[in-house]
Amino acid sequence: MKSVESAKSANYLQIDHIIKKLLSSEGVILKPSPEAYDEFDEVKKYFDQKPVEGYMIWIKKQIKHPLSTCIAISSPKVHQRLNNLVIVESGIEAELYSICNAVKPILGGKHEGHTKIILKENSSLKLRHFHKWGASDEVKTTSEIVLEKGATLFSFYKCISPLRKLRVESNALLGPNASANFEASILAKNEEAELFDTMVLNGDNSNGVIKLRMISDSNASI
């Protein structure tokens, strides 16, 4: 497991609304979402409108190492509105670490993230998403995932610290012979937490598994 404290190895690092690091790899196009929207017609169709902030990762060739992103809040009352896009081309196997956190414990920040993941035919993605926030933060994340024929997804989400309000939603559409495995672990303390996972098996021999682990105290609502 990668520490949510470290961003040294991140390919994409954003603090508040400022991109601090943007490091692509051979066979990978990595750009801020607004820039990708303007540059690529194929990317544009995946957004309802031009995004304000966020990243686009387009994996076009096989890569040897995992990719990682880190999005942090370090200033009081920051409201992030992220629109991210991940595309994995046919036959590619990829791994992505996504880390979102607050640098300080009491910032009263808001983190809204909408991520769309497109897995082309017979591609594979291992996604590990870690959150660490302060007690006064509010977080809302939504993922839309499309798995084409024979695509495979393993998605693991973990929130390792309690916050004020948390909503996590994932929606997956699976084509023929596609497979998805969702796992989530949440610690809720003095907070309101909502978790929604939906899989639509839209093709022959498609299959999905959802596993949830949620721990709360008497003052939490799940």
Over its length of 222 residues, how does the chain's per-residue pLDDT go in tens digits? 444 445 668 999 999 999 999 998 899 999 999 999 999 999 999 999 999 999 999 999 999 999 999 999 999 999 999 999 999 999 999 999 999 999 998 999 999 999 999 999 999 999 999 999 999 999 999 999 999 999 999 999 999 887 889 999 999 999 999 999 999 988 777 668 888 899 999 999 999 999 988 777 666 666
pLDDT of residue 8: 67
Q: How many CB atoms lie within 10 A of CB 44?
A: 13
Write out the DSSP string of 26-84: TTEEEEEHHHHHHH-HHHHTT-SS--SB-EEEEE-S--SS-EEEEEEE-STT-EEEEEE
Structure tokens at 38: 């303007």
Structure tokens at 87: 């595309």
Q: By the 8 A CB rule, do 217 and 190 touch?
A: yes
pLDDT of residue 222: 65
The C-alpha atoms of residue 75 and residue 137 are separated, in whole angstroms, by 12
pLDDT of residue 3: 41
pLDDT of residue 4: 42
pLDDT of residue 164: 87
Q: By the 8 A CB rule, do 212 and 184 touch?
A: yes
